[in-house]
Each structure stands twice: as structure tokens, then as C-alpha cells.
């Protein structure tokens, strides 16, 4: 693809090597030094949401069609590169490697690629080193001589082509609940002394003296001197008294055992999730505006 009409290529539709329609060509990236085209971006997403880079090497311009030497699936899986900025050498090399092209053969040493959406009459200066890239809105105004309705139809064709492949990833938060062991407190055994007053009845014995008189006769006569006088006899009396002694004795052993008790506690938390709504032209009130220009005027034919 050595020469082509930059203005026409920006409004054309890209097709794969198998003839399948891919999408609209959005931008053309030129070499900073030579001004030669190196990459173009193709809209492969729904409603223009995604652009993929494709090398122009091997591409062929056929009227309002650009036939690329790759299939749609290959282009859609190309490395994701920001299409709104200067293309760095690292990004270039990654793209060349993905498309199985020789990086050194496809670039000028020491230069980067700069994007352009140049219109007719500016293609010769768009690739000069350091030239600032114009945005896509400028390109659309530069091709105002084309049928706006046809351009809108082109966008709808792209959306219809990718409609069955358009998707978003919906996320939601899930509450993962577990348990964590932590110290809940301490339990201690402590001995202390209390005093109880006890009353015990103890049986005791004591000796008392009683007088016993026994007459003396011939049978039990005892030797006696027969002297009258005073005499004293001493008798020892005994008695028992309660004796209190204390001793410490072991009565029981008290210990602590741990046991696990299972219970259920309720936890509450807020979780977020994404919802997906589908909005159509009917919902937005755009139905019937396809045949009108930007300001509601009929497009030029």
C-alpha cells in the first residue's frame, strides 16, 4: 500500500482477507520522517467503542474499501494500544511482532509514528516530523462533501456487524465470611480463707465422791486399835475436759478445663454489584433522525 488517498481512506470500510467486513477506518498513522503510512486503526467495537491497529503493509485500497491481509479475528485480538496518542517504538515493535512482520524493515531508525486524520490537501504535510495530530472531529468536518447519511449508515453497518459480539463484563461483590481466633479473656483459680464458727458437743467424764457406810460385824471385822481420835483420808478425783486441736486436711482438688461451645452469630455488610441496561435509539428519541444532517437539515446529495 504505497500510495493512496488519505481523505478517502479515512472514510472507507475495512474488509478482511477472507472478504468479511471488519469496520470503519478511523485513523492513519504516518512515519515521522518519511510521511509514509505505517498503521491504520479500524473500528471493531460496538458504536465506535474500540479501535485496533493494523499495519498497512500488504493492504489494498479498492474504492471506498480497504482490503487488509488479515482476518477480523486476528485484528480484534491485536495488542491494545491507545489510539489517541503518539505511537512509541515499543508499541510499534509489539504490533509488528504480533502481526509477524520484521520490525526493523517496517520502520525508520530512531523515529516514532504520529497519527493523523488529515483531510484532502493535507496528506503531503501530515507526516512531517513533529506535526501535531488533528482529532477525528476535524476529519469529519473535512469530509463534509460526502453524504452524511451514507456515513451514518456505515456506522450502523459496523454496529450491526459487531452486534452479536458486543459485550460488557458485569461484576459484583461477594461476601466471604470466615472466622478468626482471638483472645477473649482469662480465667483464674484463686484460693482465699474464710472462717466458720463450729459448735461440737463432746461427752466428758468426771469423778464425784459419795459417802458409803458399811456396818462392821464379825465377818468383815478389820484390825483397829480402838483409839478414838481424828483421822483424815485423801481421795483423788479425776475429770475429762474437751481438748481442741486443728489440722489442715485435703478435701478436694479444683481445676479448670477448657471446652469449645459452638454458636451462631449474624454478620451484616453492604456489597455492590453492577447492573446492565440496554439503550436503543427509540429510548433516546433518536428514531427518524438518521436522514437528517447535524442541524436537522437534509444532507447534501
CA atoms of 212 and 210, how far apart (whole Å):
6
Beta carbons of 142 and 124 less than 8 angstroms apart? no
Determine the pLDDT at residue 7.
Answer: 74
How is residue 283 annotated by DSSP?
H
Cell of 62: 479498492
Gap between the terminal Cα atoms of the chain: 31
Determine the pLDDT at residue 167.
Answer: 77
Q: Is 25 exposed, middle or buried (0-12, 13-18, 19+ CB in 10 A)?
A: buried
261: left (phi over 0), alpha (psi -120 to 50) or beta: beta
- Contacting residues for 123 by C-beta, under 8 A, at least 6 apart: 5, 6, 7
Across the 301 residues of the chain, what is the mean pLDDT of every consecutive 10-residue run?
66 88 88 82 74 89 88 90 83 90 58 38 32 36 44 51 66 87 89 92 93 80 74 91 92 91 91 87 61 45 38
**How much is the pTM?**
0.37
Amino acid at each position: 500500500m504505497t500510495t493512496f488517498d488519505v481523505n478517502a481512506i479515512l472514510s472507507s470500510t475495512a474488509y478482511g482477507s477472507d472478504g468479511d467486513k471488519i469496520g470503519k477506518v478511523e485513523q492513519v498513522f504516518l512515519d515521522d520522517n518519511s510521511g509514509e503510512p505505517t498503521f491504520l486503526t479500524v473500528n471493531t467495537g460496538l458504536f465506535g467503542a474500540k479501535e485496533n491497529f493494523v499495519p498497512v503493509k500488504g493492504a489494498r485500497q479498492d474504492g471506498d474499501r480497504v482490503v487488509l491481509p488479515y482476518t477480523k479475528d486476528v485484528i480484534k485480538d491485536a495488542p491494545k494500544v491507545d489510539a489517541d496518542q503518539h505511537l512509541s517504538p515499543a508499541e510499534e515493535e509489539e504490533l509488528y511482532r504480533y502481526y509477524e512482520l520484521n520490525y526493523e524493515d517496517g520502520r525508520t531508525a530512531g523515529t516514532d509514528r504520529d497519527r493523523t486524520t488529515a483531510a484532502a490537501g493535507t496528506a503531503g504535510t501530515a507526516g512531517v516530523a513533529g506535526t501535531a495530530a488533528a482529532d477525528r472531529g476535524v476529519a469529519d468536518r473535512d469530509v463534509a462533501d460526502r453524504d452524511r447519511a451514507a456515513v451514518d449508515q456505515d456506522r450502523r453497518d459496523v454496529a450491526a456487524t459487531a452486534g452479536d459480539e458486543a459485550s460488557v463484563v458485569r461484576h459484583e461483590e461477594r461476601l466471604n465470611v470466615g472466622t478468626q481466633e482471638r483472645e477473649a479473656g482469662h480465667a483464674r483459680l484463686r484460693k482465699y480463707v474464710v472462717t466458720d464458727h463450729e459448735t461440737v458437743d463432746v461427752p466428758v467424764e468426771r469423778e464425784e465422791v459419795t459417802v458409803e457406810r458399811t456396818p462392821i460385824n464379825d465377818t468383815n471385822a478389820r484390825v483397829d486399835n480402838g483409839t478414838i481420835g481424828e483421822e483424815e483420808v485423801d481421795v483423788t478425783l479425776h475429770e475429762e475436759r474437751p481438748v481442741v486441736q486443728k489440722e489442715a486436711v485435703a478435701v478436694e482438688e479444683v481445676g479448670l478445663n477448657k471446652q469449645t461451645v459452638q454458636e451462631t452469630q449474624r454478620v451484616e455488610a453492604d456489597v455492590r454489584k453492577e447492573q446492565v441496561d440496554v439503550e436503543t435509539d427509540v429510548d433516546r428519541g433518536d428514531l427518524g433522525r438518521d436522514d437528517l444532517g447535524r442541524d436537522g437539515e437534509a444532507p447534501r446529495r
